[in-house]
A and B are shown apart, each in its own frame.
Chain A
Amino acid sequence: MKRELNIAVNGESYNFFIEPKTLLVQVIREMLGMKGTHQACDSSSCAACTVIIEGKAVKSCSILALQVNGKEVTTIEGLADGTNLHPIQQAFIDNWAFQCGFCTSGQIMAAKAFLDENPNPTREEIQMQMDGHICRCTGHNMINEAIQDAAKRLQSRDAAKRLPAQKKLQPQKWAQTAKSGKGA
């Protein structure tokens, strides 16, 4: 017996009739065709599919879509502002915080929810928060550094917002990514 689902994803409202057992990740990947959210296990243990539901990082494979009825979901596709990357995305690029990139969407979404709550975390706090994420490529340290770097970028962006008289920060265009970067 199908049930009605009303859901807002990345600011857009959708209406579906779905089987009650449908998982949120299935709605995102198969019904909405947003393939940026990846699934890497069948046991809720890798966190690659993490999305943000009303401010909280949630594994989209571990929640029924109907549990999210009437709520707002943000996926990796909703993070950038048009062609301008979010500072966390830019920090991941500049710190080589991904290799194959398969777990990256989940890592970035979890980092976003975390930095919204704790804007200035230590290495240990990031480790505690991100421990649920499996990454087979990077060895985690460069992800940790990217999150610390992103925290700094977000703080200076927010500071710039608070002081409108100050010089505006350069918009972060994708084409600029090749210029910056941190030494090994």
Chain B
Amino acid sequence: MSEFSIIGKPTPNVDGPAKVTGEAAYTIDMTLPNMLYGKLLRSPYPHAKILSIDTSKAEEFPGVKLIITGKDTPGGKWGLWRRFRELSDQQALATDKVRFIGDPLAAVAATTEEIAEKALDLIEVEYEPLPAVYDPIEAIKDDAPMVHEDFPSNINATRHIEWGDVDKGFAEADYVREDRFVLEAAHPCAMEVHNTLASYDKGTGRLTVWTSTGSPYFVQQNLAEALKLREGDIRVIKPHVGGHYGGKNSTMPDCVNAAILSMKTGRPVKIVFNRDEEFTTTEHRTAQHMALKLGLKKDGTIVAFEAKTITNGGAFTGLGATTLYLTGTFITMPYKVPNYRFDGVRAYTNIVWGTSIRGFGAVPSKYCAETQLERAAHDLGIDSLEIRRINAVAPGYEAPGQYKFESCGIQACIEKMAVRVKEKWPKVEKDAGIGYCAFAYMSGGIFNWIDTPYAYSSAHVKVNFDGTVDLYSQAADVGQGHNTVAAMICAEELGIGIEDIRLHMGDTAHAYTDLGAWGSRETLMNGNAIKDAAGQIKQKLIDIARLKLGENIAYDLVAKNKRVYLELRPERGLSYYDLVKDAIRANDGVPLTGTGHYTPHNKGMISPAYGMGIMAIKAKVDRETGHVEAQDVLVVHDSGQIINPLGARGQVEGSIHMGLGYGLCEEMPMDQGMLLNPEFVDYKIIRTRDMPEIEILDVPTYEPNGPFGAKEAAEATIAPAAPALANAVYQACGAEFFSNVLKPEKVLKAIKEKEKKDKEGAKPKTTSKAKGK
């Protein structure tokens, strides 16, 4: 808005010059003198006992420097659910048995990558295959093979959420319907694969790690546990990261094994996954089953809602247990649900594990809830937008014991959508339809299963004699543009320019803790910490200006446009640069410093703030081939006060692209635990020709918990894309979907079912029951 000098102005990426010239260094681009290359030997079986491993032939191969197996590792287990030790289930190398195809069981360090790969072929392993389980419903049966023997069952985590009186709610409903869904997995597909460069200093016993991660802090914690070192003896540096999308939260075997190999050889070691390893052994969006029961009044008001899910967790926990919990909360947003019950189970299975991929919790759950709501609206003869409008929350809405919306522009978003849709698509052609989905998503998580004893976010600001500013934080730019946002917030608070800020981000040795880039947390949480730190320095400058100006104490002073001046009499003020010099002189020559932090308190269980809005997609169906074309996207979005409109648009565009992929083409078919499409040739990502144009309208609000009123913009818009698309197809031809990925064969089948149903007449649906009252 006009009161800001920098916030809200389209600002090109501060990393731009480095990224368009090829100078930006990613971990994958880095080497160190005397460096060795590491490779991991991976299991070909989904579940098998390791009877023996013979590395002798491989060790003799010229260029091989070291081979380790499970017994050579420090043996520490790690995970992101540190608060519950039994869920710290990851290990460097499998010891007794392998749990999925790709589970690593030996690591090689060699002088070249080629030699390391050849050595893998020479390692002889004797396995005893065990019965395996791939489906979560099978996995929780009593006679299912156990994935972790030291765990009571294959139930990895459960979650129950309830408020109101659900049974009473359903009894009062005029209309109740039940639907079952099967959601398919999807891979984050970061362009830079997981990779790590580790360097151990024999003299000091300290380890430095460069790795492609979203959270240097998580890596530091996890490495300390895996290697049985002190956290403080491990330094983690996050260079530029070539894509994250939630797939780089967990510390993976590349990182831990590179560290172990470096500690044992005394030389730097680098491990880079190939694309096949990336697909088959790194985390993906969890496949799951879901059953929903929705109770409405005749006018469409939601009176009761019940959700049950069982997720295909895979072999380890990751942030999958968090995903389960968030599934149970985001599925209700942004609607008033007076009576609600959720039961979720995450099952261990013999596949690679699922976790916190972009929009986690919301993406599968909103697909189910919003396609169900659409069918209910159709049955009751209520307009698609109207049913969303009458149920949408208002500012101050609270889901008992779970979450509360402070800033909340959803009603204004729906109203704006209603107007714009009529202008944009006055007529819809044959076999085309418009589908809607309302959405909300967190601005950083409140839950603390990582069990950090530190503030959630911290920042340190140092102002030098010449007025330049050094900003230190562990916060991670993973492409989302947080470096730009951080510089903008710091510059706005100090009243200076972005060109005055030097960023030192993502290094555990330089800054206090920030939990990293996940759950859309950096803008709000790290932004608050930066504003706090910079604000402390601003106050020092204002104090000195007050002394020097000698004005009436009733006047307020502001820092803006590189000056500190009286708010009501801007001509009376002093230069920022002069004030800095005075302040440092007055401080015995010590540069001005401020250390800020942010930890949410008393803001519910989920998040201090929620981005929200509504999306409409116009899609066309080819009844002959079943091909669905997403023709046009319109989204009305409340992100509070947007910090950088350029970056925010990038986040929304990118989210919709990934969300459409979830709805149209991305899938991970497996056979006996083996992924069938572990390459970009077969794993279909939407390319530019199939990408519709996107119109984004903003409904600005002021979020009291965010820096300058800001909240998330990075993830809310991924979840609505697939359900809006499915709803558009439903509007176009009546085809109903109970699973994502609208491949032509699935669409043709759904159209046939619809035609069959029409022929049979207007009998009530098997999946729903209309209750007369």
Query: A and B: real partners?
Result: yes
* A117 close to chain B: CB less than 8 A: no
Give the residues in chain B near A46, CB-CB below 8 Å. 191, 680
B689 touches A127 (CB 8 A): yes
Which residues of B sit under 8 angstroms from A184, Cβ to Cβ?
A: 10, 645-646, 648-649, 696, 698
**Residue A36 is within 8 A (CB to CB) of chain B in the complex:** yes
- Surface stretch bound by A, among B240-248, B319-327, B330-338: B240-248
Residue of chain B at shortest CB distance from A144: B688
A96 and B240 contacting across the interface, CB-CB below 8 Å: no
Once bound together, how far apart are the Cα atoms of A183 and B14, in whole Å?
Answer: 16
**B696 in contact with A136 (CB, 8 Å):** no
When the two chains form the complex, which single residue of B22, B29, B498, B691 contacts A178, counting CB atoms closer than 8 Å?
B498
Cα–Cα distance between A143 and B653 once the two chains are bound (Å):
11
- Report the minimum CB–CB distance from B480 to chain A (whole Å): 6
- B interface, how many residues as a size bin? 35 or more
Q: Give the contacting residue for B12; candidates A40, A94, A131; CB below 8 A.
A: A94
State whether B694 touches A139 (Cβ < 8 A).
yes
Say which one of B45-53, B66-74, B385-393, B654-662 lies at the interface with A: B654-662
Given A128-B689, A134-B687: A108 touches B20 (CB 8 Å cut-off):
yes
Q: Is the CB of A43 within 8 A of B275?
A: yes
Please determine whether A177 and B653 come into contact, CB atoms closer than 8 angstroms.
Answer: no
For A174, what are the chain B residues with a Cβ–Cβ distance below 8 Å? 17
Q: Is the CB of A138 within 8 A of B650?
A: yes
| A60 CB–B CB distance under 8 Å | no
A48 to B193 alpha-carbon distance, docked (Å): 13
- Which residue of A has the minimal Cβ distance to B651? A99
Contact of A136 among B12, B22, B245 (CB under 8 A): B245
Q: Is B124 at the interface (CB under 8 A from chain A)?
A: no
Find B192's partner among A100, A128, A182 (CB 8 Å cutoff): A100
Minimum Cβ distance to chain A for residue B270 (Å): 13
Selected from B13, B20, B681, the residue in CB contact (under 8 A) with A45 is B681
Cα(A42)–Cα(B687), bound, Å: 18
**B551 an interface residue at 8 Å Cβ cutoff?**
no
CB distance from A61 to the nearest CB of B (A): 11
Select B499's contact among A96, A99, A178, beta carbons within 8 Å. A178
Interface string of B666-699 (1 = CB under 8 A from A): 0000000000000111000111110101101010
Chain A residues whose CB sits within 8 angstroms of the CB of B18 once the complex forms: 101
Task: Classify the interface of chain A: helix, strand, loop or mixed.
Answer: loop
Kindly identify which residue among B19, B241, B646, B648 contacts A104, using a CB–CB cutoff of 8 Å.
Answer: B19
B21 contacts the other chain (Cβ, under 8 Å)? yes
Given contacts A37-B22, A177-B17, contact A102 B12 (CB under 8 A): no
Contacts A42-B275, A127-B688, A141-B694 given; indicate if A102 touches B242 (C-beta within 8 A).
yes
Cα distance A141–B479 in the bound complex, in angstroms: 16
CB pair B20–A104 under 8 Å, yes or no, is yes
Please tell me if the beta carbons of B478 and A34 are within 8 angstroms of each other in the complex: no
B655: A residues at CB distance < 8 A? 139
Contact B189 A136 (CB under 8 A): yes
Contacts of A75 in B (CB 8 A): 22
Q: Which residues of chain A (83-138) have a CB below 8 Å from chain B?
A: 85, 89-90, 92-94, 96, 98-105, 108, 126-128, 130-138
**Identity of the chain A residue whose Cβ is nearest the Cβ of B243 in the assembled complex:** A100
In the bound complex, CA of A94 to CA of B17 (Å): 11
B649 touches A101 (CB 8 A): no
A159 CB–B CB distance under 8 Å: no
Measured CB to CB, the closest approach of chain A to B542, in angstroms, equals: 26
A40 to B28, CA, bound (A): 10
Asked if A98 contacts B13 (CB within 8 A), the reply is yes
Question: Closest approach, in angstroms, between the C-beta of B53 and any C-beta of chain A?
Answer: 27
- Report whether B20 and A89 are in contact in the complex, using a CB–CB cutoff of 8 Å: yes
Q: Which 4 A-B pairs have the closest CB atoms?
A: A36-B22, A100-B479, A102-B242, A139-B657
Name A residues whose Cβ lies closer than 8 Å to a Cβ of B: 34-38, 40-43, 45-46, 48, 75-77, 79-80, 85, 89-90, 92-94, 96, 98-105, 108, 126-128, 130-144, 174-175, 177-178, 180-184
